[in-house]
């Protein structure tokens, strides 16, 4: 099965509301997009193309290469259709694979049962052809097979990524309530920051926003921080293609960007974690970290972007302390950030009202399952006319 050079339907998934930013990334890489939907995009690509996509995309979660589409009324139909696929040409009989799924079929009470039927069909096929059965289990560090089964429509994919791409590999210390790297990247892209003017991130926590800003400014891609993907464990994989793509990533890094990135947090422990993560990412020299109250964060001469990601508190019921914090954020933006573009990322609309500024735009995101907004402010120096 010549999957490495055979174009097939490819689905690139992402967290809900990140699709517009993922779409732009894919277009920039030179691919044509067939459709965009709420949690991803579809295109035509080979698995060699998927190598390029896996290494370059900041907003993606998984990259799925289609193997077969079929009708399946129940688990027996599912087993039969999957058992007909030439898995012995994809998975080494001495290898290891795992199965995950997205299932909505009235005959299936749990996706785990569907996963088991897929696993059995693959194992039985390879044992019949090769006389030895491969190992399987829950780990996503070798070949990963993905089942998408809605009612009677079923699709089987090779998940070319394995572990999610939404984690970019540098954050060894997550800190308290961290923002996922793919989300942070999407948030920064939505601000239309030029990657040259000043970037200020008070309340930086574990440093994800500031580090993602530094990665964008230096054109460092997530593939620089990862050396294992599912596609590497398929039969027919040519490691030279991977290393060629990885060399491209290294060659395109901007080693001396003309940009100033400032990140602060009142917690010395948070700053310590952020500095460690930045060092792992290789951008610690580009970020000026400060341990201070957010209102004391350095704001150099504009232009620039300032992004604050404060605590959200409870969705229902506002804490008095957080009310005061959000009001102080508004004061900080008005008084210290004149001439900047200001952004506040929050999942609490009631607290957002305490900022006391009129947002010219509210961009929708999800942080996990929490409905969030990126509130956008133009912070004029003097009157708007001026």
What average pLDDT values come out for the chain (386 residues) when binned by 10 residues? 94 98 98 97 98 98 98 98 98 96 95 96 97 96 98 98 97 82 98 97 97 98 98 97 98 94 97 96 97 98 97 67 95 97 96 96 95 95 48
Instruction: For residues 264 and 255, give the distance between their C-alpha atoms in angstroms, rounded to a whole number.
Output: 24
Spatial neighbors of 59 by CB under 8 A, at least 6 apart, are 14, 18, 21, 22, 25, 182, 185, 186, 189
Side-chain half-sphere exposure of 314, counting CA atoms within 13 A? 6
288 exposure class (CB count in 10 Å sphere: 0-12, 13-18, 19+): middle
Where do the domains of the chain lie?
A: 8-159, 181-220+254-378
Which pLDDT value is given to residue 93? 94
145 exposure class (CB count in 10 Å sphere: 0-12, 13-18, 19+): buried
358 exposure class (CB count in 10 Å sphere: 0-12, 13-18, 19+): exposed
Query: Cα 183 to the chain's mean position, in Å?
Result: 6
Q: Exposure string (b/e) for 5-26, b if CB count within 10 Å is 16 or more?
A: eeebbbbbbbbebbbebbbebb
Instruction: For residues 279 and 82, give the distance between their C-alpha atoms in angstroms, rounded to a whole number.
Output: 45
Site of tokens 């998940």: 159
Instruction: For residues 177 and 368, give the distance between their C-alpha atoms in angstroms, rounded to a whole number.
Output: 11
Query: Cα 245 to the chain's mean position, in Å?
Result: 20
- Predicted TM-score (pTM) of this structure: 0.95
Instruction: Measure CA of the first residue to CA of the last residue in the chain; give whole Å.
Output: 65
Site of tokens 């997009």: 33
366 exposure class (CB count in 10 Å sphere: 0-12, 13-18, 19+): middle
**CATH, range 181-220+254-378:** 3.40.50.150
Token pair for 89 = 């040409």
CATH architecture of 8-159: 2-Layer Sandwich (3.30)
Backbone phi, then psi, for 174, in 5-degree steps? Answer: -70, -30
DSSP-derived secondary structure for 150-177? ETTEEEEEEESS-S-TTS-S--S---SS
């Amino acid at each position: 099965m010549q999957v490495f050079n055979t174009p097939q339907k490819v689905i690139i998934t992402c967290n809900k509301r990140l699709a517009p930013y993922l779409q732009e990334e894919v277009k920039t890489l030179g691919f044509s997009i067939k459709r965009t939907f709420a949690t991803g995009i579809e295109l035509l690509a080979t698995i060699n193309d998927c190598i390029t996509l896996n290494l370059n995309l900041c907003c993606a979660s998984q990259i799925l290469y289609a193997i077969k589409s079929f009708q399946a009324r129940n688990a027996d139909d599912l087993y039969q259709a999957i058992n007909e696929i030439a898995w012995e040409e994809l998975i080494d009989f001495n290898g290891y694979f795992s199965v995950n799924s997205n299932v909505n079929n009235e005959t299936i009470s749990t996706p785990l049962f569907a996963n088991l039927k897929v696993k059995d069909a693959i194992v039985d096929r390879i044992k019949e052809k090769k006389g030895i059965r491969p190992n399987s289990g829950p780990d996503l560090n070798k070949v990963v097979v993905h089942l998408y089964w809605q009612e009677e429509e079923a699709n089987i994919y090779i998940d070319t990524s394995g572990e999610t791409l939404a984690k970019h590999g540098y954050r060894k210390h997550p800190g308290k309530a961290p923002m996922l790297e793919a989300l942070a990247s999407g948030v920064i892209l939505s601000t239309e920051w030029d990657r040259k003017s000043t970037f200020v991130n008070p309340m930086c926590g574990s440093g994800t926003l500031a580090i993602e800003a530094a990665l964008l400014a230096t054109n460092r891609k997530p593939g620089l921080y990862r050396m294992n993907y599912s596609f590497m464990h398929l039969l027919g994989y040519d490691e030279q293609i991977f290393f060629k793509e990885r060399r491209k990533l290294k060659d395109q890094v901007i080693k001396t960007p003309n940009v100033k990135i400032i990140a602060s947090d009142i917690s010395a422990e948070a700053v310590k974690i952020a500095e460690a993560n930045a060092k792992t990412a290789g951008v610690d020299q580009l970020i000026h970290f400060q341990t201070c109250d957010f209102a004391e964060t350095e704001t150099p001469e504009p232009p620039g972007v300032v992004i604050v990601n404060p605590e959200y508190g409870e969705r229902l019921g506002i804490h008095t302390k957080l009310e005061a914090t959000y009001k102080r954020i508004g004061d900080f933006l008005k008084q210290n950030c004149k001439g900047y573009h200001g952004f506040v990322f929050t999942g609490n609309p009631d607290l957002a009202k305490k900022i006391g500024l009129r947002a010219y735009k509210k961009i929708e995101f999800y942080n996990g399952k929490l409905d969030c907004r990126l509130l956008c402010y133009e912070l004029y120096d003097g009157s708007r006319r001026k």
